[in-house]
Structure 1
Amino acid sequence: MRLRRWVGGFAVYRAAPHEQSAQLIVCNVTADDFFFIKDLGRGDLKLNGNPVQKQSIAPMAQGSVIKDGAGHAVFFSDVVQCCSTCDRVEQRMQFEALNLAHFFNYPNEAALRPLSIKAQSGDLIGIMGASGSGKSTLLNILNGSLKPTFGEVYLNGSSIYGGEGNAKGSLGHIAQQDVLISELTVYENLKFSADLSLGGAKEKERLERVELTLRRLGLWDIRNLRVGSVMDKTISGGQRKRLNIALELIREPAVLFVDEPTSGLSSRDSEHIMDILKELTLRGKIVFVVIHQPSSDIFKLFDRLLLLDVGGYPIYQDNPLECLGYLKQMSNQVQNSEAMCTTCGTVNPEEIFDTVASCMVDEYGQLTENRRVSPEEWNDYYNMIQEGGPATPATEELDSPEATVVPRWSEQFRTYWRRDVTAKRKNKQYVWMNLLQAPLLALALSVFTRYRSAEGEFVYRLSENLPQFLFISVIVALFLGLSFSAEEIFRDRPTLRRERFLRLDWNAYLASKMTVMLGISAVQSMLFTLIAVAVLHIPTGAGMLFMTLFSLSAFANVLGLNLSSAMKSAKTIYIIIPLLIIPQIIFGGAIIRFDRFNPIFTQVDRVPLIGNLMASRWGFESLAVHLTRENEADAPFIAFEDRMERAAWRRDFWYQQYRLIEDADVRSREWEGALDELNSWGIATQSLSTAEDVRHAFKDAYKEAFKARDAERKAVSESTDLKALKDAHHNDALHEWVMQTDRHERIALTDRGLVQETAFIHQMPLGRQAWNAPFYAPEKQLGQWSIKTPTFNLFVLWAMSALLYFILANRWPERWGWGKRLD
């Protein structure tokens, strides 16, 4: 039988011309999907296996099937689809998957065997199969998340994998995994989803759509309840599932893929969820549902069933009510014509799996492990039926999917930022932990390192633990920045995986996330600095302390986001955090001095490569140099002391070693270096011809610098108490730390010539580029420019952060295969 026409609320079914006379009238008397039938033909029709008397009227409910004496069938879905081919469908859709096959490692590890699927507007297609049958792989291929090894998927003729067209934006996916943001309310979850989904709608339209969706799914009364997590439930499992569906329904995708929508739900909630999905198909949507063990009522909702066997073999693709009979017929079982119970109309989907995986018995009547029909044999039957079945209707020429309007970058950024801030603000534990961590650590660290003299009075100059405090502060900043950012993207991964169908800009999400992280780091760095300065009386370094700690935290933020994007589990993330922090401690230049590393890895006058890769090295050096040179007690005299230190070293150590050098090239380089340094001080060198002359020149330079410093001190002392100034601004321990006067050797011969091994704090670059400069050098040379070390080091920290951000923006951690791809 086939449909001839639909007039008003009546459908007329007639037999084909070559068949005997048969006529059936179907009447839809309400807006509900409930029909009445009347047999006007020969009286051999059966409804769900029960005879229909000629000229009598019988109700036809969901999941029903009508058969005539010749075995022709009209299913309930046929009637509904006929009824729905009216003006209710705004744009007809045709979804085609042609010759799909997928291998994890071609030609080995087959995940999905050759398969083609065609669906059109109004189809609800169920995908069933045992574990390991490739259901999830097929779903990921169909929704565009995974490109198959062979084959192509089209929507109205447009490939869903192509860069052009609107096909990808017309797809939606509801994962089995919960994608709700637990801190937000039901309304907020859906509102933020609407802001990201409905780019072309005005705010009023979005609000109306949110309210309509909540009312349609029965969630309006709980709209102000916090969603909560799966372990900390505030709303029921059925309500959570409906809200997950609402996140996709808000934008009404043309094709919707749903993974296990009924798992973990009661039978009533399961039926409610499936009724919602069925309602979508009545509005012209195409819905694919992966489901494991549906009830009889749910099973009968499907228009078509695709059954997969272990190994990715397709074994059935047709009306679900015919599946069990087909399987029994192919496996030569008795009662193979029964599709459902003739008494109650119940279908047992579990019997499908029992039939597929039924095993043979041995001579003792015991079941063996050998299947009666192997997956390969089922697939052969399937291919035979597909090839010998009725010709597939030709693909219609349909309009390309309508373009979905993507919100502007600024709108995406604002929505992402508001959603993240709102969620964090509502998590009181998160707020208090991040607010209290920095001040508590600062208080504990500064109190325990606050050293007082025997007289019991704290003097900043005598605070012996200041270098250690500065270095631990650097490590604390790195730890804080890394610990609260390392799980951010990982926690958002389910939501991001759903939102990839919206074609949103990854950089908008990343920029919003980074802005929030930087805001938190700025607050933490400020609180840490305020308490540390107050307890330790750090005088003029508060601004640099804040900037350094904030820059270190920013670097750690980006590092944490990379880690979050790369790793597959939270446990792995927190195992790796110490592995990132410990090298910062070891190679930061404070715990183990660079000159005391294994000589294979370092040189006496420069930082080794591994040290230059550590953010802690740049942060600690920045603070040490700034507090040593830029404080009010030393800054007025530092230029004179630089000259005095270098002139004394040239006079006392360089001169003696220079006389012992025999290599002419080395002597020439050292001679030119000494003259260049004198020239940089404004001292004429034209008359200098011997080493003794140069020694006297440096001796005179030392005397002049010494006199100038004393004169400056005298001038300052007239208006300021120098001792009080030094007590308040100069720290002896830090000065000794950067001078490194405990070294026994003061000069060494390297491949660069003679180098000073102490007082790096007073050594200017003199042509040495920044990466070759000694630790604690006051300036770094970049090309022709000399930049103060604190400023240069901050620049390096932000450059390192920018590099990590570039890596994250290009999604290299995902492409390297460490984490789960989001696109």
Structure 2
Amino acid sequence: MKETVLNALLQLFAIIANVSEDGVSFKARSIVKNFLRQHLKTNLINRYLLLFDQYLEIHHPYLFGGGIVDSGETLTDSAKLQRITAEINRSLIQREKFVVFLRLVEFINEDEVMTHKELAFIRTVADSLNISRSEHHNTRAFVLNTCGEIEKDKLLIIDNQETPFLEGVRHIRENELGGRITILHHESTDTFIFRYTGNMNLFLNGQPIIPDRIELMDQGSLITGTRISPVYHSDISRKFHHKEEATRIYFVAEEIEYRFKNSNKGIKKFSFSKESGNLIGIMGGSGAGKSTLLNMLSGKLKPQHGRITINGIDIYEEESRVEGIIGFVPQDDLLIEELSVFRNLYLNAKLCLSNYSETEILRKINQILTDLDLEDIKYLKVGNPLKKYISGGQRKRLNIALELIREPAVLFVDEPTSGLSSMGSEKVMLLLKEQALKGRLVIVNIHQPYSDIFKLFDKFLILDKEGHVIYKGNPIDAITYFKSLSNYVNADVGHCPSCGNVMPEEILKIVEAKEVDEFGRITRERKVAPEEWYGIYREKIESKHRIKPVNATLPSIDFKIPNLFEQFRIFSLRNILSKLANRQYMLINFLEAPLLALIIGFFTKYSSGTGTSASYLLRENVNLPAYLFMAVIVSLFMGLMVSAEEIIRDRKILERESFLRLSRISYLHSKILVLFLISAIQAFSFVIVGNSILEIKGMLFQHWAMLFTVSCLANMIGLNISSGLDSVVTTYIIIPFIVVPQLLFSGVLINFDKLNNLFHHPSYVPVIGEIMTSRWAYEAMAVHQFKDNRFNRELFPIEQRKNNAAYYSNFLIPELQTRLNEIDYQMTAGKDVQGSAGELELIRNELQELGELGIIESFGNTSLLDPGQFNHDLYRTITDSLEVVREHFVAAMNAASRSKDAKSEELLQRWGGKEAFLRMKDRHTNERLEEILTNKRQMEGIIEWNSRLYRKMDLIYMEPLSNYGRAHFYAPDKRLGSLSIDTFWFNLVIIWFSTLIFYVTLVWDLLRKFTTWNQVRKLRRRK
């Protein structure tokens, strides 16, 4: 007993004591002494008796030299009484105040007579201690042993009669009990007191019960006797907290078993049944299989043998019928760290209670906040264990509240006390006990509880290594069970004789006890192997409990998940609110893009000239291509960084939401939406700042569209990584392996023509470049910047015709004529032309390509272009034809030149003269970009490769050779069949198509499946 309770009792005893000139009566003093003996060690009894005497002196001063004061005046000294009861109210909880009141009534009744003044005193104390009139009346009647005056629904009689002696009271029949146990329920504090009337030797927690003395029955207590079955606190509690049959839950596991592949670990065959209103504990050492068993029972891991039913319905075969019946609270947090306690509950309720109105949801949230003592912190941010805003116990209760708000009939809780203080652990367990008393079946996985928590459980399952269930039954009996099997001397004692505590850790010490060798050293061998304990359990416990499935109606539940769109809306709201609440996240992500644009733009803004004479012109900025490329890389990097943690940090929450059958598609769509919004803002801020610094005009939308598209693809890649990997560290380690190839194979740092010959092709971008987002994005931006700027927009088609005609007339045809002349010269000189077979094959191939242009009907019989058949006549025919074709292209080139001059003159007039024309050119064109896209630094305009000639000059004007989308780098457009598509839009679509592919892999979670498959394959190889 607490000292504050004891002091309060002694003061009240002193006030009410029957005092005469000879002092307090011997019987009254004996009551005080016996009371102290029950609650204190022997060496403290005299100390508190002296304290009692001091209180007598204070409250009865006339005995110690003061004036004669009538004892009635003492009893009615309200100021003195009010002062003591006020101190009691400040110091004690209601249950402790009830104990004070009970002992006070007993003390007053020591002479078995209660005067009117004493009754008035009791009423005053009861009112002061906020004890209701009905409970005051019941307690007084119970002390006076006038049970007929007590409210019938507050009494429980245990005897050997078929019906109780009082009609209407609760009753338990115990055939071998001699006498009667009468139990009173104090409802407001859920406290039980009892009196035994009879001659049997009964024990309360191992201590003798004195007949006709009123005893308290605390949580976990039990009454035992040599001939009677144990009477548990939980049995008594259940009688008073009984639920109607229609709402009861019958949970049955029949001969369930699970074994992991290639392992002895799992859960060995066992059966288990329990109904609602019970708090069940699962205890065992590390690695015993507690979590595996909890997952099996909760419907997360299907047993390989046996079945699990709720009211006769198999939870695995008929999942839909028990949907919402089972709740599961994992050991890890399920909280959105950035949101408040209230927001966490609110969004969770919206996902579970779609049939509730907004008002009903708010009412339910406020109710559960009050019930779980979270009202004061409802608007505090949840935070994380390293940056706390609420305590560990509050976090745990909030996790439980997330499940309780949908009111599951069966609640599973994994390690609810891990990481909590003893006080926090007790609060959480009392909460779970309260849920059991409300009619739920609560099954808790717990490592090693201390005494007070251990006694809260109604039943206990104990697991040994490799999933052997070795005990099932009352927790207190577990101690005596294992003591008996281990031949302990005091095997029948489960509680400490002096303090009433139990030692649950003693169970595991007995179970895991090791052998000792001849030198007294502890060995690794156990005294009793898990298999032996399991065999004893099957023989002594399992064999005596026949499991019978119960078919009953399931209770109605409020659980109902919203439709897919509503889930998407709620998930999106949750994502947005959590990000808005994280100021650091918002600051970094929305300042990152403009700051990087500022840095890149500032350092790439090159001005020609020196000192103060330097003036900036976009046309002369040699760093514009570098800026465009860095814009692509930055967008890619930002898209990866912003999405890399998105799913991995929600892993535990996703596990719970899958347990609730919430839509993963809706969740993913909400993530994608929010990330795309962030990427859109980032891309816009980058383009606004960067383009403004470099004075790039007229490209805002196109540059934003491309950078946004790149970021979206990076978002999808990041989400795939986040979904497929288990560690945030691994996620960030893998990002360089994505970004570096984008740098290397973009075609910017390393020319595609200079790659290893295995990857090189002169007319197409290599395959490795085709799969690089950076290549598609940079090419699109560079080509669009060059040909679709305001200056070149109308001139480019004309310039393209001119350059293509110039290529044929000035390069390709003269090259073919030169090669033909050389072969004809060798033949005329009588030299062997057998060595010219390759040259002739090349000419034949090129003539076929020229013939497809339709300029002339034929180049003659090109099949004769063979060393054995080539002759001078064929030579003359081909050269004449080539000359006709060349003249055609010369004419086309001249026509294009005239068109360009005419268009330039038109633009000159439109823009207001030559000076304005040149100013427009300075503002919209870029010489360095033109140099790269026209490949002016390439010394050879034509290269030979595999008996073909390939153009390597003015690539920006060259039409692609493929009709299925492939093309050379910097092609002005791409072809699909007969359709010609502008490079910018074609590349944009290609990147979005890649995004779609990664969306499919994300929906199917292919990376996760692959990594899981790979891990399983490696484990199998090791074994």
1:144–1:168 Cα contact (<8 Å) kept: no
**Alignment partner of 2:255 out of 76, 92, 99:** 99
Residue 816, structure 1, aligned to residue 1010, structure 2: yes
Residue 12, structure 1, aligned to residue 171, structure 2: yes
Q: 2: distance between equivalents of 1:445 and 1:453?
A: 18
Q: 2: distance between equivalents of 1:32 and 1:226?
A: 33
- By how many angstroms is 1:127 displaced? 0.9
Q: 2: distance between equivalents of 1:607 and 1:156?
A: 66
2:195–2:213 Cα contact (<8 Å) kept: yes
Amino acid across the alignment from 2:888: A
Instruction: State the Cα deviation string for residues 305-352 of structure 1 (Å, max 9, x = none).
Output: 111112222111111111111112222333222121234321111111
The corresponding residue for 2:973 is 779
**Alignment partner of 1:602 out of 756, 760, 764:** 760
Residues 131 and 2 of structure 1, relative CA distance in 2, 3 Å threshold: farther
- Higher mean displacement: 306-315 or 63-72: 63-72
The corresponding residue for 1:744 is 939
1:739–1:759 Cα contact (<8 Å) kept: yes
2:178–2:200 Cα contact (<8 Å) kept: no
The corresponding residue for 2:988 is 794
1:11–1:26 Cα contact (<8 Å) kept: no
Instruction: State the Cα deviation string for residues 203-246 of structure 1 (Å, max 9, x = none).
Output: 00000001001111111122122222211112222222221221
The corresponding residue for 2:539 is 384
The corresponding residue for 2:64 is none
Residues 514 and 5 of structure 1, relative CA distance in 2, 3 Å threshold: farther
1:166–1:403 Cα contact (<8 Å) kept: no
Residue 172, structure 1, aligned to residue 335, structure 2: no
1:359–1:370 Cα contact (<8 Å) kept: yes
Instruction: State the Cα deviation string for residues 261-286 of structure 1 (Å, max 9, x = none).
Output: 11222222211111110111112211
Amino acid across the alignment from 1:11: R
The corresponding residue for 1:699 is 890
* SS of alignment partner, residue 718 of structure 1: helix
* SS of alignment partner, residue 980 of structure 2: strand
The corresponding residue for 2:187 is 30
Residue 184, structure 1, aligned to residue 375, structure 2: no
* SS of alignment partner, residue 777 of structure 1: coil
Amino acid across the alignment from 2:206: G
Q: 2: distance between equivalents of 1:555 and 1:502?
A: 30
* SS of alignment partner, residue 692 of structure 1: helix
Amino acid across the alignment from 1:709: K
* SS of alignment partner, residue 690 of structure 2: helix
The corresponding residue for 2:312 is 157
Summarize the alignment of residues 309-458 of structure 1 with structure 2, pairs less than 5 Å apart. Answer: 309-399=464-554, 402=557, 404-454=559-609, 455-458=613-616
1:40–1:54 Cα contact (<8 Å) kept: yes
Q: 2: distance between equivalents of 1:606 and 1:687?
A: 29
Q: 2: distance between equivalents of 1:394 and 1:24?
A: 33
Residue 653, structure 1, aligned to residue 821, structure 2: no
Q: 2: distance between equivalents of 1:359 and 1:74?
A: 34
More relative contact order, 1 or 2 (CA 8 Å, 6+ apart): 1
Residues 757 and 77 of structure 1, relative CA distance in 2, 3 Å threshold: same
**Alignment partner of 1:220 out of 375, 378, 387:** 375
TM-score when normalising by structure 2: 0.75
- Higher mean displacement: 513-522 or 5-14: 5-14
**Alignment partner of 1:506 out of 640, 652, 664:** 664
* SS of alignment partner, residue 108 of structure 1: coil
- Higher mean displacement: 269-278 or 148-157: 148-157
2:159–2:181 Cα contact (<8 Å) kept: no
Amino acid across the alignment from 2:889: F
Residue 51, structure 1, aligned to residue 208, structure 2: yes
The corresponding residue for 2:903 is 712
The corresponding residue for 1:478 is 636
* SS of alignment partner, residue 280 of structure 2: strand
- By how many angstroms is 1:97 displaced? 2.9
Q: 1: distance between equivalents of 2:653 and 2:660?
A: 11
Query: Which has the larger Rg?
Result: 2
* SS of alignment partner, residue 226 of structure 1: coil
Q: 1: distance between equivalents of 2:171 and 2:318?
A: 45
Residues 189 and 400 of structure 1, relative CA distance in 2, 3 Å threshold: closer
Summarize the alignment of residues 726-741 of structure 1 with structure 2, pairs less than 5 Å apart. Answer: 726-741=921-936
Residue 64, structure 1, aligned to residue 221, structure 2: yes
Amino acid across the alignment from 2:225: D
Identify the structure with the greater helix proportion: 2
Residue 305, structure 1, aligned to residue 460, structure 2: yes
Amino acid across the alignment from 1:522: A
Instruction: State the Cα deviation string for residues 368-412 of structure 1 (Å, max 9, x = none).
Output: 332111112111212222443132344334438757311122222
Residues 314 and 261 of structure 1, relative CA distance in 2, 3 Å threshold: same
Q: 2: distance between equivalents of 1:599 and 1:373?
A: 70
Q: 2: distance between equivalents of 1:232 and 1:8?
A: 59
Amino acid across the alignment from 1:122: G
**Alignment partner of 2:402 out of 219, 230, 247:** 247
1:43–1:52 Cα contact (<8 Å) kept: no
Summarize the alignment of residues 65-144 of structure 1 with structure 2, pairs less than 5 Å apart. Answer: 65-70=222-227, 72-87=229-244, 91-104=247-260, 106-144=261-299
1:765–1:781 Cα contact (<8 Å) kept: yes
The corresponding residue for 2:697 is 539
- By how many angstroms is 1:128 displaced? 0.9
Instruction: State the Cα deviation string for residues 346-368 of structure 1 (Å, max 9, x = none).
Output: 11111111111112222333333
Q: 2: distance between equivalents of 1:612 and 1:385?
A: 71
- By how many angstroms is 1:644 displaced? 2.1
2:252–2:549 Cα contact (<8 Å) kept: no
* SS of alignment partner, residue 559 of structure 1: helix
Amino acid across the alignment from 1:13: I
The corresponding residue for 1:765 is 960
* SS of alignment partner, residue 194 of structure 1: helix
* SS of alignment partner, residue 488 of structure 1: coil
Equivalenced residues, count: 811
Residue 755, structure 1, aligned to residue 950, structure 2: yes
Amino acid across the alignment from 1:741: K
- Higher mean displacement: 107-116 or 422-431: 107-116
- Structure 1: gaps (5+ residues): none
The corresponding residue for 1:231 is 386
* SS of alignment partner, residue 268 of structure 2: strand
Q: 2: distance between equivalents of 1:488 and 1:735?
A: 41
1:156–1:400 Cα contact (<8 Å) kept: no
Residue 724, structure 1, aligned to residue 882, structure 2: no
The corresponding residue for 2:790 is 632
Amino acid across the alignment from 2:200: G
Instruction: State the Cα deviation string for residues 664-700 of structure 1 (Å, max 9, x = none).
Output: 99767644533444x6xxxx64587633332332222
Amino acid across the alignment from 1:590: V
Give RMSD over aligned pairs. Answer: 2.7
Amino acid across the alignment from 2:651: R
- Structure 2: gaps (5+ residues): 1-157, 820-835, 861-880, 1016-1023
Q: 1: distance between equivalents of 2:946 and 2:988?
A: 30
Q: Percent identity?
A: 39
1:548–1:794 Cα contact (<8 Å) kept: yes
- Higher mean displacement: 807-816 or 131-140: 807-816
1:63–1:301 Cα contact (<8 Å) kept: yes
